[in-house]
Amino acid sequence: MALFALSYGRSTGSRPPRFVESICLAVLVADVVFLAGSYFTGMWLVAQGGGGVVTDFVNVWAAGRLVLGGHAAAAYDWPTHKLAEDGPLGHTFDGYCGWHYPPPFCSSRPLSPRCPRLSLF
Protein backbone atom coordinates (compact mmCIF):
# COMPACT_ATOMS: atom_id res chain seq x y z
CA MET A 1 0.00 0.00 0.00
CA ALA A 2 2.86 2.38 0.80
CA LEU A 3 4.46 1.75 -2.58
CA PHE A 4 1.18 2.63 -4.30
CA ALA A 5 0.86 5.80 -2.23
CA LEU A 6 4.42 6.82 -3.04
CA SER A 7 4.21 6.03 -6.73
CA TYR A 8 1.08 8.08 -7.32
CA GLY A 9 1.64 10.71 -4.66
CA ARG A 10 -1.61 9.88 -2.87
CA SER A 11 -2.37 9.07 0.71
CA THR A 12 -2.98 5.50 1.81
CA GLY A 13 -6.52 4.28 1.29
CA SER A 14 -7.18 6.31 -1.84
CA ARG A 15 -8.43 4.69 -5.04
CA PRO A 16 -6.20 3.68 -7.95
CA PRO A 17 -6.19 5.87 -11.05
CA ARG A 18 -9.26 5.73 -13.27
CA PHE A 19 -7.42 4.02 -16.15
CA VAL A 20 -6.36 1.15 -13.86
CA GLU A 21 -9.97 0.63 -12.79
CA SER A 22 -11.06 0.70 -16.45
CA ILE A 23 -8.47 -1.92 -17.43
CA CYS A 24 -9.50 -4.19 -14.54
CA LEU A 25 -13.16 -3.88 -15.49
CA ALA A 26 -12.38 -4.66 -19.14
CA VAL A 27 -10.44 -7.80 -18.13
CA LEU A 28 -13.29 -8.92 -15.87
CA VAL A 29 -15.88 -8.45 -18.63
CA ALA A 30 -13.66 -10.28 -21.14
CA ASP A 31 -13.30 -13.23 -18.72
CA VAL A 32 -17.04 -13.47 -18.15
CA VAL A 33 -17.76 -13.32 -21.89
CA PHE A 34 -15.09 -15.94 -22.62
CA LEU A 35 -16.33 -18.34 -19.93
CA ALA A 36 -19.96 -17.94 -21.01
CA GLY A 37 -19.01 -18.48 -24.66
CA SER A 38 -16.96 -21.56 -23.72
CA TYR A 39 -19.86 -23.02 -21.82
CA PHE A 40 -22.40 -22.50 -24.59
CA THR A 41 -20.12 -23.76 -27.39
CA GLY A 42 -19.21 -26.94 -25.52
CA MET A 43 -15.57 -25.98 -24.93
CA TRP A 44 -15.97 -26.03 -21.15
CA LEU A 45 -13.62 -27.93 -18.80
CA VAL A 46 -16.25 -30.64 -18.39
CA ALA A 47 -17.61 -32.27 -21.53
CA GLN A 48 -21.33 -32.50 -22.12
CA GLY A 49 -21.23 -36.21 -21.33
CA GLY A 50 -19.72 -35.49 -17.91
CA GLY A 51 -16.13 -36.56 -18.64
CA GLY A 52 -13.13 -34.30 -18.79
CA VAL A 53 -12.13 -32.30 -21.85
CA VAL A 54 -8.72 -33.18 -23.26
CA THR A 55 -6.23 -30.36 -22.68
CA ASP A 56 -2.46 -30.36 -22.62
CA PHE A 57 -2.63 -30.17 -18.82
CA VAL A 58 -3.66 -33.81 -18.60
CA ASN A 59 -0.03 -34.86 -19.12
CA VAL A 60 1.08 -32.87 -16.06
CA TRP A 61 -1.63 -34.40 -13.91
CA ALA A 62 -0.83 -37.92 -15.14
CA ALA A 63 2.91 -37.48 -14.52
CA GLY A 64 2.21 -36.27 -11.00
CA ARG A 65 -0.03 -39.27 -10.40
CA LEU A 66 2.75 -41.62 -11.52
CA VAL A 67 5.27 -39.86 -9.26
CA LEU A 68 2.91 -40.13 -6.28
CA GLY A 69 2.54 -43.84 -6.98
CA GLY A 70 6.30 -44.28 -6.84
CA HIS A 71 6.69 -44.73 -10.60
CA ALA A 72 8.40 -41.50 -11.64
CA ALA A 73 10.27 -43.14 -14.51
CA ALA A 74 6.94 -44.32 -15.97
CA ALA A 75 6.20 -40.72 -16.98
CA TYR A 76 8.77 -41.24 -19.74
CA ASP A 77 7.28 -44.58 -20.82
CA TRP A 78 4.71 -43.30 -23.32
CA PRO A 79 2.27 -46.25 -23.31
CA THR A 80 2.14 -46.22 -19.49
CA HIS A 81 1.80 -42.44 -19.39
CA LYS A 82 -1.04 -42.60 -21.94
CA LEU A 83 -2.95 -44.99 -19.66
CA ALA A 84 -2.44 -42.58 -16.76
CA GLU A 85 -3.76 -39.71 -18.91
CA ASP A 86 -7.02 -41.53 -19.62
CA GLY A 87 -7.73 -41.97 -15.91
CA PRO A 88 -8.68 -38.46 -14.77
CA LEU A 89 -10.75 -37.80 -17.89
CA GLY A 90 -12.96 -40.81 -17.39
CA HIS A 91 -12.61 -41.86 -21.04
CA THR A 92 -9.96 -42.64 -23.62
CA PHE A 93 -9.04 -40.16 -26.32
CA ASP A 94 -7.21 -40.25 -29.62
CA GLY A 95 -3.69 -38.93 -29.55
CA TYR A 96 -1.25 -38.42 -26.75
CA CYS A 97 -0.14 -35.47 -24.67
CA GLY A 98 3.50 -36.42 -24.15
CA TRP A 99 5.63 -35.76 -21.11
CA HIS A 100 8.71 -34.04 -22.52
CA TYR A 101 9.97 -32.24 -19.44
CA PRO A 102 13.34 -32.99 -17.81
CA PRO A 103 13.42 -35.24 -14.73
CA PRO A 104 13.88 -32.41 -12.16
CA PHE A 105 10.49 -31.07 -13.24
CA CYS A 106 8.89 -34.22 -11.82
CA SER A 107 9.76 -33.06 -8.30
CA SER A 108 6.98 -30.45 -8.34
CA ARG A 109 4.34 -32.62 -10.06
CA PRO A 110 3.20 -34.63 -7.01
CA LEU A 111 1.37 -31.50 -5.86
CA SER A 112 -1.08 -31.44 -8.78
CA PRO A 113 -2.84 -34.83 -8.36
CA ARG A 114 -3.54 -34.10 -4.70
CA CYS A 115 -6.15 -31.58 -5.86
CA PRO A 116 -9.21 -32.29 -7.98
CA ARG A 117 -8.36 -31.83 -11.66
CA LEU A 118 -10.81 -28.97 -12.25
CA SER A 119 -9.57 -26.95 -9.27
CA LEU A 120 -6.14 -26.62 -10.88
CA PHE A 121 -7.46 -24.61 -13.81
Distance, CA of 24 to CA of 52 (rounded, Å): 31
Tell me: the pLDDT tens digits for 50-66?
Answer: 666 777 778 888 888 88
pTM above 0.75, yes or no: no
Q: Which residue has the higher pLDDT, 98 or 35?
A: 35
Round the average pLDDT of the chain to a whole number and report it.
Answer: 76
Q: How far is CA 81 from CA 56, 75, 115, in A?
A: 13, 5, 19
Of the listed ranges 13-27, 36-50, 71-85, 100-114, the least confidently predicted one is 100-114
Is residue 11 scored above 90 in pLDDT?
no
